Amino acid sequence: MQSNTVTVLSHNCHRFAPMTPDGPLQPALPPLLNREQAILEFNRRVLAQARREDVPLLERLRYITIVSSNMDEFFEVRFADAIEALRSVPGASPQRDALRSVAAEAHALIDTQYALFNDELMPELQRKGIVIINHAQRNEAQRAWVDRYFEQQVRPLLVPVGLDPAHPFPQVANKSLNFIVRLGGRDAFGRASSIAIVKVPRALPRVIALPRELCAAGEQGFVLLTSVIRAHLETLFAGRPVESFSQFRVTRDSDLEVDEVDVANLRQAMRTGLTTRHFGEAIRLEVVSTCPEALWRFLLGQFDLPEAALYRVNGPVNLVRLNQLIDQVESPELRFPPYEPAWPERRLPRGQSILARLRQGDVLLHHPYESFDPVVQFLRESVADPDVLAIKMTIYRTGSQSVLMDLLIDATRRGKDVTVVVELKARFDEEANINWAERLEAVGAQVVYGIVGFKTHAKLLLITRREAGPRGQTLLRRYAHLSTGNYNPPTARLYTDAGILTADAQLTADADAVFHQLTSLTRVRSQRHLVTAPFQLHRRLMQHLAAVAQAAAAGQPARVVIKVNALTEPALIGALIAAAQAGAEVDLIVRGACMLPPGIPGVTERVRVRSIVGRFLEHTRVLYFRWGPTDDDEVLYLSSADWMGRNMFRRIEVAWSVRDPALRQRVIDECLVPYLHDRRDAWQQAPDGSYNRIADDGPGAQAALMARYGVIA
């Protein structure tokens, strides 16, 4: 991948919008795109990966499972929020019509997903000798093995519940798999109770490999747990025929509702809330397509759901669990080639002190192309260094197993002052974060939970070290790591992110001020190089966009390139459109939901929106603004924040300008330019919010960066 200069981002600009004494006229904003539909559009792009013949077969199946996981979260969070908002809007309304449209699109997307799974991927897997064998297809030896497996591993964990007034419909947890069964005859007490529920234990594997000796030559055979239970349903109800049955799963509203103002200890309140999260309001009911109407109507009634909330799927309920099949198949050629991120040897030689290296200048890390291990080593060295006095760190998502958390515990035990800001409300990571908070508190670390009403989404690690000054005096020097991504080494191999290791006195002082505010809750001085939300970030971005618009209207070079995960904040969208209407060229690289409609003649024709969907999840947030002809007329930021209302106003976020010219150029060359020219994994957004893939066998940004940095086996 060739190196490109900053001028690659610059376009010739000319006067486009009339001026007023106060600057460019405010644009007439087009209707913004629907956010929920934009999320569904993103999932269509992910699903399209499962159709790509240049993607290995098992990875195509993995994209199917990713869409299922994404759709679960869509219903648990986004769709649930939309339904909650509509409860205050009685009768017919545009919002209600929009919600119906979104629901119809969700149905169509899931239908497409299952059609792709059944008609393309399963036949392809079978041709490769990977077979999911249902009960009717099993030979005598396979059935005997499945019978033994059921009796030894499954039956002891099943608790079938026959419904009657003394046995009401059981609590069904969010996303748990169950069977509903209609029975004939009478029960042991002579009654005609006909409906029973069988919960599928979550502890059991959903995909079970058959012994190789029971499979045909060259085949790898698997059975699904649901198929095993289905084949033995009648044995659970001795003497009663099973007249009909179906798998079912309910998706519930999973946002934790905790009144942060009225609780004395947020951690204890969150721990209590986790016990009820799995039983929130029902949002979606999934059954198999063969489910009799009487059964799905009975279930809809139990969960108080309308028929529009019913999803009849042609295949296994919950395709997410097919990840277990991908992991068990012994065919490495059907997966992506293993990729090993590179240690940045030239900039950070192994075996040398990272802290000493940082006194010479900043080090930029670009994950997953470069290893996350230097960040771990940075903390490990600090823990072992007797001159390091204090360590401060924010935690958003780190996982249930974390070498970084273990190091913080070790640092506390060594007598260092350890302060950890743990975000307890990191969605779906609450339990892991609570557990880490309790472990850290148990050894004496200072643990705080951010600011009431604001999630702490900033990614900061700050080290304070005692050192000798130039005249022999003792001084304290700070070192820091700032990142666009989480402190989670496993996901650092899957997500694209950028981070900087620095000993810059001004930047580390700004980071220390952020920690001071998070712990003391007091007003702090305005930071010089670290811009924070909810205080300055939105205003600073609006100021930059206004400067770009003014330069464009004056006929000077004007350029905006933004790479984020989502763009939904109306004021920022309006400012982007104003800059474009003034004559600036605006390129937006938005992985997920984008509510700005590009390419509308006379309105947003200077705005281009593209999305990159490839092997890695695009997660890097990079912001570039140019408003004049000199180097002083441009700025480039790395940031933890997406351009959404929640990030700007309801989260603690950071953005920092990359001031070193060489590092700034490297961010441009690696995080922006390749993505603007990607012809392999890129999608172009149309004015109506739909996307068209740009696929002409041209270069791909991710492939080029992998080739530059990593080792592909």
Alpha carbon of 354 to those of 1, 123, 359, 385, 478: distances in Å?
A: 29, 52, 9, 12, 13
- The SS3 call for residue 314 is coil
The answer to whether residue 457 is catalytic is yes
- The three-class DSSP label of residue 386 is coil
Identify the H or E element spanning 209: strand 207-209
The four Cα atoms 80, 85, 90, 94 give a dihedral, to 10 degrees, of: -90
Confirm or deny that 709 is annotated as ligand binding. Answer: no
**Quick one: CA dihedral 504, 455, 616, 340, positive or negative?**
positive
The whole-angstrom separation of Cα 493 and Cα 495 is: 6
Q: φ, ψ for residue 493 (rounded to 5)?
A: -90, -10
Residue 591 marked in a binding site: yes
Q: What is the DSSP string of 599-634?
A: --TTTTTTEEEEEE-SSSEE---EEEEE-SSSGGGE
- Can you tell me the distance from the alpha carbon of 627 to that of 208, in angstroms, rounded to the nearest whole number? 60
According to DSSP, the residues that pair with 497 across neighbouring strands are: 367
Amino acid at 592: G
Token representation of residue 608? 């281009």
CA–CA dist 546, 638 (Å, integer): 20
Burial per residue of 128-164, b for 16 or more beta-carbon CB atoms within 10 angstroms, e otherwise: bebbbbeeeebeeebeebbeebbeeebeeebeeebbe
468: three-class secondary structure by DSSP:
strand
Pull the structure tokens for residue 382.
């600090």
Which residues are bridge partners to 478 per DSSP? 464
Tokens 């991927």 found at: 121
Residue 190, SS3 per DSSP: coil
CA distance 371 to 10: 31
CA–CA dist 533, 575 (Å, integer):
18
212 is in an annotated binding site: no
Interatomic CA distance for residues 442 and 457, integer angstroms: 24
Q: How far apart are CA 215 and CA 217, in angstroms?
A: 6
Question: 218, 191 in Cβ contact below 8 A?
Answer: no
The catalytically annotated residue of 366, 367, 457, 544 is 457
In angstroms, the CA 258 to CA 273 distance is 7
3-state secondary structure of 569: coil
Q: Residue 633: what residue type?
A: D
Q: Is 397 annotated as a binding residue?
A: yes
Phi, psi of 229 (to 5 degrees): -65, -45
Helices (H), 329-402: 354-358, 373-384
**Integer Cα distance of 644 and 533 in angstroms:** 11
| 451 SS3 class | strand
The strand pair at 495-502 and 363-367 is best described as: antiparallel
Tokens of 607: 């705005």
Rounded CA-CA distance 131/221 in Å is: 5
Peptide bond into 27 cis (omega under 30): no
Strands 460-468 and 388-395: antiparallel
Whether the Cβ atoms of residue 198 and residue 228 lie closer than 8 Å to each other: no
Alpha-carbon distance of 324 to 205, in angstroms, equals 8
Query: Rounded to a whole number, what is the distance in angstroms from the first to the last CA of the chain?
Result: 20
Helix segments in 206-265, DSSP class H: 225-231
Active site amino acids: 457
Q: Which residue ranges make up the annotated binding site for Mg(2+)?
A: 397, 427
Q: Which residue ranges make up the annotated binding site?
A: 70, 397, 427, 495, 591, 619
Q: Which residue ranges make up the annotated binding site for ATP?
A: 70, 495, 591, 619
